Chains A and B, each alone.
Chain A
Amino acid sequence: MNIKNKIKITVNGKQMQIIPKFSLKSLITKLKMPLNKIAIELNKKIIDKKRISKIKLKKGDKIEIVHFIGGG
C-alpha cells in the first residue's frame, strides 16, 4: 500500500501510521500487548477489550494503553 493511503493515529503520545480500517485488535497484536495485563482508552473512552476486533481505527484517533507499574 502506498504510504499516502496511510492514516495517522496517536498511541501513548507517539504518532503512528496505519492502513485504513486497521482494527484496534490488530494494533494491540502488532504492538504485542498482552490483553489481560492492559487497559485501553480510545479518544478518552475506555474500550471493552472483548470488542476490540470490531473497532476500526480512524484518522486522528488517540489511543492510550496502560498497565500496572510499581507505585506506593
Chain B
Amino acid sequence: MIDNKFKIANKIFKSRLIVGTGKYKNFSECAKAIKTSGADIVTVAVRRVNISNKNKARLMDYIDPKKITYLPNTAGCFTAEDAIRTLRLAREIGGWKLVKLEVLGDKRNLFPEMIETLRSTELLTKEGFKVMVYCNDDPLMAKRLENAGAVAIMPLAAPIGSGLGIQNKVNIKIIRGQTKLPLIIDAGLGQASDASIAMELGCDGVLINTAIAKAKNPIQMAEAMKFAVISGRKSYLSGRINPNLFGAASTTNKGII
C-alpha cells in the first residue's frame, strides 16, 4: 500500500511526528531535538513576556517559524473564553490559524473538559481557526468534535506527561474506524514503541513532548521517535498477519530427512 500524505486542513506535512517544545533544559536542546526528530510541526504556548529581563532568550530566536509550522496551544486554559483569548493572541503574533485546542478540566490528571472543548471548537471554527483538538479517547465525543468543525482529532493515550502509553487501544481503533479526519495521539506516550503502536492502530500521527524532552538523552529519543513513527506507519500500511494461537512453522516439512 502506498502511503497517503499527512494532510491537515489542506496542508501537507512530511513528518507524522509533531513535537512539543516544553520542558527542555534550554532552547538550544529543544531546537536540536526538533531538528533530529524531523518534525515539521511544533506546539508552542502563549505566555506573558518577561518585562524585567528584556534580554531573555526567546523561542522564536531558536526555532524559525518560517521553516517549521508553529502550532499554538491553549495549555493552562480551563474555559472556552480563556482558550479563545489565548488563540486570538497567538493569531495576532503572526497570523497563525492552525491551532491546538486544549481545555483542561482537572489540574491533577489534566484530563480535557470536553463540554468546554466542544464549545470552544464551535466558536473557534466560526472565527476561522483550524482547530486540532486535544480530547478524551471517547468515540462519541470525537464524532461531535468532527461535526463541530475540528480539523484533527487528538485523543490522549494517557494523562499528559504520564508516559504510560496507550491505555485504551479499543477506543482509538473505534475512533479510527469512524473518522476520515487526521487522528493524532496527543499526550501520554513514554517510549518509541508507544509511538509505533499508535501508528499501527492506524493513527495519522503522534504528538510527543515529555517523552522526548525528559528522556535522559532527548536528542537520541527524538531520533528514536522519528523512526518509531515511520516504522509503525509502514507496519500499518503493510497489513499485519492474522494473530494465531497455534504455531505455524516457517520451514516446510517437504523433503525432511
Chain A residues near B (Cβ < 8 Å): 11-14, 31-34, 36-41, 44, 46, 49, 64-72
Contact = CB atoms under 8 A, between A and B. Distances in A.
B88 A46 contact: yes
Nearest to B48: A12
Contacts, number: 99
Interface stretch (B7-15, B54-62, B164-172, B175-183): B54-62
Size bin of chain B's contact surface:
35 or more
Interface stretch (B67-75, B113-121, B123-131): B67-75
B50 to A, nearest CB: 8
B54 A32 contact: yes
Given A67-B46, A67-B59, A68-B90, 8 more contacts: A37-B60, A46-B89, A46-B92, A64-B89, A66-B49, A69-B47, A71-B22, A71-B43
Contacts of B59: 67-70
A8 B24 CA distance: 37
A34 B58 CA distance: 10
Given A68-B72, A72-B73, A37 B22 contact: no
Question: Considering residues B49, B72, B89, B93, which has the most beta carbons from chain A within 10 angstroms of its beta carbon?
Answer: B49
Contacts of A32: 54
A49 B91 CA distance: 12
18 contacts: A32-B54, A34-B58, A46-B89, A64-B48, A64-B89, A65-B49, A67-B49, A68-B58, A68-B59, A68-B70, A69-B22, A69-B59, A70-B20, A71-B45, A72-B21, A72-B23, A72-B73, A72-B161
A37 B52 CA distance: 17
A38 B85 CA distance: 14
A71 B134 CA distance: 14
A16 B44 CA distance: 29
Nearest to A47: B92
A8 to B, nearest CB: 15
Nearest to B92: A39
A66 B51 contact: no
Contacts of B88: 46
A71 B186 CA distance: 13
Contact of A67 (B21, B27, B58, B85): B58
A66 B84 CA distance: 15
B209 interface: yes
A49 B44 contact: no
B94 interface: yes
Given A39-B89, A72-B209, A67 B94 contact: no
A26 to B, nearest CB: 14
B210 interface: yes
Contact of B24 (A38, A40, A66, A70): A70
